[in-house]
Structure 1
Amino acid sequence: MTLRDVQLTPRPGGSPELRGVLGVPSAAVHGGGPWPGVVVVHEAFGVDDVMRRQVERLAEAGYLALMPDLFTAGGARKCLTATFRALAAGHGRAFEDVESARAQLVALAECTGRIGVIGFCMGGAFALQLASPSRPGGPYAASSVNYGRLPGDDAELDALLAGACPVVASYGGRDASLKGAADRLDRGLQHAGVPHDVREYPSAGHSFLNDAPNGPRLLRPVMQRILGVGPEPEAAADAWGRIEAFFGEHLREGEGRGPDA
């Protein structure tokens, strides 16, 4: 596979300049394409080496994977508050930037036009929001929600999940910040009649799908103690297997150019 930094075409209301990271499958392994696409939404720490390797992993699995840098306009320190504000509102610059990535994938000749979304931590909450047909670019063909925060009350969650695309979700049982989230999401998806696969891993904490610790070094001991933050290889291997199987079922349907192409 190849991994390269790219410039994305900005949208009205989005970042005036927008960078991203694109992973392209190996033609020797996965044929010459076209391939389904996956928009990758990064953690609150931004586009670091750990997140770039998540893009690599998806490309190695046979997906065109594009991660927009939601902090292009000024880095995490300047953009984080605005990004979380957009997440709470369900619209705003961050959603337009993600939609730029989705539209760019659809426009690629190497893409089938079927697009999924995957997110981690903050990005997991975006992936859940983007499963809804009411969000910019929605609905996707499938969404992978990884330790993403849920809306505050059940009525809001029910409204978000009405008509949602299929969802595969993974949470850590040691993640004190998201106690009960997996069960609550599972119940909401069942109530909405949405195809889904939700699992909580008792041995895992927050960010367990990462292959290495990340974030500010001084904060890592605190994050580990409170949230159980950090890699959990056994849980991660199982979760990635579920994600790839779920995406294989919902993104490779037909293998031709999708309806949005």
Structure 2
Amino acid sequence: MGRRLPGHGPLVTTSLDGYLAVPVPTSDRPGPWPGVVLVHDAFGPGDDMHEQADWLAAAGYVVLMPDLYRGRSAVRCLKGTFAQLSQRHGPAFDQLEAARTALAADPRCTGRVGVIGYCMGGGFALLLAGRPGWSAAGVNYGQVPDDVADVLSGACPVVASFGGKDTSLPGAAAKVQAAADAAGVTADVHEYPQARHGFLNRLAAASPLVPLMKVAGVGYDHGAAADAKRRILAFFDTHLRATDRD
């Protein structure tokens, strides 16, 4: 794992490549804690994604981010990973399910596990919401399939955030809200009118994809990011906090 805090020991499984962020025990939240599987964006598990895991851990969640690229470059893996997302099966889904299983079995975790994803990862999180084993899903500007109503049939609670100026996902928030309403799924869906795609992400690392992302209208928005994080934590606190294992 990319990160283990002193004294906390390794995750139950050692077969996953990824990044692990564990909360610091406090008097009000000594552990165990709920788990969250974080699905990285198209750039891969870089510094920005590590920071996303860290703020969730600071809020009292054990966070595991599998490396869907298995140490290879985003350029080499992007097409294949998006193909799996489109086909809704493949090694990436196997990795994410293995991460959920590992967190649920880890003694530092309460056994309740949610998923959160960004961009490409948001698409995975939306699909996983409708699959067994997840207690909540955080979808951040992820791809919304045409059959989203079927995807969310029987899904876990969903908190979703989109940007009103995200030209790649026009009307996405309304589609997810309508699908959740039709399926009777508890959902907090919000569109930030002035935000663009990737408004939660600080993309500072050099990457061949950065120029393309800028042309596509990607940009960090402090106000939208702060409010989205507030909503995500409130939602996860409601649906993931538990004293007993399921």
Q: Same fold (TM over 0.5)?
A: yes
Distance 1:159 1:121 in 2: 21
Find out whether 1:158 has 2:146 as its counterpart. no
Question: 1:6-42 CA distances to partner (integer Å, 9 max, x unpaired)?
Answer: 78858xxxxxx64111111111365321100000000
SS class of match (2:194) = coil
Counterpart of 1:51, as a letter, is: M
- Return the letter of the residue paired with 1:239: A
Matches within 5 A, 1:82-231: 82-133=80-131, 138-151=132-145, 153=146, 156-210=147-201, 212-214=202-204, 216=206, 220=210, 222-227=212-217, 229-231=218-220
Q: Which residue of 2 aligns with 1:77?
A: 75
Whether the aligned pair in 2 keeps the contact of 1:7 and 1:18 (CA below 8 Å) is: no
Q: CA deviation at 1:255?
A: 1.9
Change (3 A) 1:111 1:217: closer
| Residues 108 and 30 of structure 1: CA distance in aligned 2, closer, same or farther (over 3 Å) | farther
Shift, 1:93, TM fit: 0.4
Say if 1:144 and 1:243, in contact at 8 Å, map to a contact too: yes
User: In 1, Cα distance between the equivalents of 2:78 and 2:46?
Assistant: 15
Which SS does the other structure have where 1:235 is aligned? helix
Q: 2:31 aligns with which of 17, 30, 33?
A: 33
Distance 1:185 1:126, change over 3 A: same
Q: Which residue of 2 aligns with 1:255?
A: 243
Distance in 2, matches of 1:117 and 1:72, equals: 19
Runs of 4+ with deviation above 6 angstroms: 5-8
For the 8 Å contact 1:30–1:62, the answer to whether it is kept is no
Cα distance between partner residues in 1 of 2:22 and 2:166:
33
CA shift, 1:75, in A, is 2.9
Letter in 2 for 1:245: A
Structure 1 spans left out of the alignment, 5+ residues: 11-16
Letter in 2 for 1:231: Y
Q: 1:219 to 1:65 in 2, by over 3 A?
A: closer
CA distance 1:55–1:220, change in 2 (3 Å): same
Deviations 1:122-180 (A, max 9, x none): 000000000012xxxx24100000000011x2xx2221111010000000111100011
Pick the aligned partner of 2:229 from 223, 240, 257.
Answer: 240
> Whole-Å Cα distance in 1 between the matches of residues 137 and 221 of structure 2?
22
Backbone CA RMSD of aligned residues: 2.1
1:34/1:8 CA distance change after superposition, 3 Å = closer
Q: How many residues align?
A: 241
**Aligned pair in 2 of structure 1 residues 19, 206: CA closer, same or farther (>3 Å)?**
same
Tell me the distance in 2 between the aligned counterparts of 1:182 and 1:27: 36
Q: Kindly tell me: are residues 7 and 93 of structure 1, through their superposed partners in 2, closer, same or farther at Cα, counting changes over 3 Å?
A: farther
CA separation of 1:215 and 1:44: change in aligned 2, threshold 3 A: farther
Q: Is the 8 A contact 1:38 1:116 kept in 2?
A: yes
Instruction: Write the distance in 1 (CA, Å) between the matches of 2:83 and 2:231.
Output: 31
CA distance in 1, matches of 2:171, 2:30: 43
Query: Residues 218 and 74 from structure 1, CA distance in 2 versus in 1: closer, same or farther, beyond 3 angstroms?
Result: closer
Letter in 2 for 1:142: A
The one-letter amino acid paired with 2:190 is: R
Question: For 1:76-97, what per-residue CA distance to the aligned partner results, in whole angstroms no more than 9, with x for missing partners?
Answer: 2332222111111111100001
SS in 1 for 2:111: strand
Structure 1 window deviating more from structure 2 (68-77 vs 52-61): it is 68-77
TM-score, normalisation: structure 1: 0.86
- TM-score of the two chains, using structure 2 as the length reference: 0.91
